[in-house]
Amino acid sequence: RACHIQGIKLMTTHLFVYACLTIGLFTALVGGVFQAFSDFVMAGIIRAAPAGGIDSMQQINRTVFRSAFLAITLALAPIMLAASLYAWQSLEGSPKILILIGTAIYMTAVLGVTMFGNVPMNKHLDGLTPSSPDAAIYWKKFGTVWTGWNHVRTFGAIIAAICFLLAATGLPDTLAAMT
């Protein structure tokens, strides 16, 4: 019976390697979208006339609610939390630590910054009339500050992805040591 239970645990842990790879790849995808915004999307929108840039950003922010990107970004949170719980209870060594660190970074640098940095700025921008003088003044601040927060999200997602990918590559050695 103990061998059967250990076999189930070992099988589950082997599947967990693929789960960590999947989490890492999807997290890297999220980081890539953020990077695109930091690298050229925001730069292009900010160069537009304020009314055009504001209208474009308002439309992007309204469209993101119906996107696969938002679904993936949000779905990663409970998936990472479940992975962290499994790692906490079933793993040892660096894969366990990497999964816990990756989850913590994602929760704070990606979700936390999104909820408390970028989203409030987006909501304020959405309430402005693009051609108004107040909107033009806010737009100058918006572009710099929003993009700065987006850099944090970019690096957070990339670092979290690296943590999960490194955990996945280290799991076979950890499994061998645990058996």
Model pLDDT, residue 4: 41
Q: Work out the average pLDDT over 71-92.
A: 95
Model pLDDT, residue 176: 55
Integer Cα distance of 179 and 169 in angstroms? 17
- Rounded percentage of the chain residues whose pLDDT exceeds 90: 84
Integer Cα distance of 6 and 22 in angstroms? 24
Model pLDDT, residue 10: 53
Tokens of 155: 């690096």
pLDDT in tens, 7-37: 545 556 678 999 999 999 999 999 999 999 9
**In this model, does residue 3 exceed pLDDT 60?**
no
User: Is the Cβ–Cβ distance between 176 and 92 less than 8 Å?
Assistant: no
Q: What is the average pLDDT score of the chain?
A: 91
Residue listed under structure tokens 């998936």: 79
DSSP code of residue 127: T
Q: Which of 53, 29, 28 is nearest to 41 (CA)?
A: 53
Confidence of residue 121 (pLDDT cuts 50, 70, 90): very high
Model pLDDT, residue 90: 87
CA angle in degrees (0–180, nearest 5) for 145-80-92: 125
Model's pTM, two decimal places?
0.89
Confidence of residue 171 (pLDDT cuts 50, 70, 90): confident
Dihedrals phi, psi of 131, to nearest 5 degrees: -90, 0
Sign of torsion over alpha carbons 120, 122, 123, 127: positive
Model pLDDT, residue 2: 36
Integer Cα distance of 155 and 8 in angstroms? 36
Residue listed under structure tokens 């890492």: 24
